Amino acid sequence: MRYFRATVEYDGTDFFGFQVQPDQPTIQGTLEQTLSRIVGEDVRILAAGRTDTGVHARGQVIAFRCSWRHTVEDLQRALNALLPESVAVLEMAEAEDDFHPRYSARSREYRYFVLNRPVRSPLRARYTWHVPQTLDVERMNEVASVVVGVHDFATFGDPTVGEVTVREVYRSRWERDGETLVYIIEGNGFLRRMVRTLVMAQVWVGQGRWTAEDFQAALAAQDRSYSPPPAPPQGLYLWQVTY
C-alpha cells in the first residue's frame, strides 16, 4: 500500500458538501468512487476540511492509501480523466506516513466573494453572493480586525468535533477588486459555518444594520442566539491549506 496526498479544486454547486452522504452526490464520494474504479479496490480518503453544500475549493488537501504499481503522474492523469468537469486534482505526491491533511495543517485560508453592484450577474451567480446595496468597506474592515487573535467563536459557529469553540485567527480583512469584495480569513481552524456567519455579520455592519459595538457584543456573548444567519454558500472557497 502506498500513501498519497493531493490538492483538489472543485465547484461545489452541484454537490451536497464534501463528506459522504447516503444517496447524495458529494466530493468525497466522487473522489472515492473514482479512485476505487482506477485501482480496483475500496479507497477511503482523509481531507483537510469538510466544506458545506454549495461551497467551493481551490486548495482542498486529501490523503489516501491504495495499491498502485505505476507512477504518481499516471494516477493523477487517470483521476482527472474520469472525474467530472467540476472536480480536478491539481497536484499529487507520495506522502510521509505521519502526514494527516487535517491534523498536520498549520493553517487554513478561506476566501468569500461578494459581488457589490446594483445589478446581479447571471454568469457569476454560482460563485459570488450578490449584495446590491453599497457597502462601507472601511467599517467592515474595522470589525474584521476584531476577530484576529484567540477568541471563543461560539456565537458564529458550531464545533466540528467535541465542544471547544475557541479558535485562533491570523488574518481577517476585506479587499476590493473593482465591483467585487473579497473577505480573506486565515486561522488554525474554523467552526461549522463560522466563516459564512462572520461574513454576514460584517456585511450587516457595512449596510448599517449593525454597529461595530453590536458586532463586538455578539462576539463577546458566545451565544448562537446573537448570531445572524450565514451568508449564502456559493461565495465561499477553501482557498489553501498550509503545512
Query: pLDDT band for position 161 (50/70/90)?
Result: confident
Q: Specify whether 128 is located in the same domain as 177.
A: yes
- Residue that is last in its domain, among 73, 94, 115: 94
Query: Is 145 found in the same domain as 88?
Result: no
CATH number at residue 125: 3.30.70.660
For residue 126, pLDDT over 90 is answered with yes
Q: Same domain for 188 and 81? A: no
- Does 126 lie in the same domain as 35? no
Q: Is residue 86 part of a domain?
A: yes
Q: In terms of domains, do 75 and 182 share one?
A: no
pLDDT of residue 162: 81
Please check whether residue 84 lies inside any domain of the structure: yes
Q: Is residue 156 part of a domain?
A: yes
pLDDT in tens, 28-65: 999 999 999 999 999 999 999 999 999 999 999 999 99
CATH at residue 59: 3.30.70.580
Q: Which residues are catalytically annotated?
A: 52
Q: What does the buried/exposed string (b/e) look like for 67-91 if buried means 16 or more CB atoms within 10 Å of the residue's CB?
A: ebeeeeeebbebbeeebeebbebee
pLDDT exceeds 90 at position 156: yes
Task: Confirm whether 115 is domain-assigned.
Answer: yes
Is 100 within the bounds of a domain?
no
Residue 148 has pLDDT above 90, yes or no: yes
Q: What percent of the chain has pLDDT over 70?
A: 100
Range of the domain at 139: 107-242
Based on the fold, state whether residues 224 and 127 are members of the same structural domain: yes
Predicted TM-score (pTM) of this structure: 0.95
**pLDDT for position 183:** 98
Q: How confident is the model at residue 163 (pLDDT cuts 50, 70, 90)?
A: confident
Same structural domain, 43 and 120? no
**102 located within any domain:** no
Total domains present in the chain? 2
The last residue of one of the domains, among 42, 70, 94, is 94
> Looking at the predicted structure, is the pLDDT value of residue 85 above 90?
yes
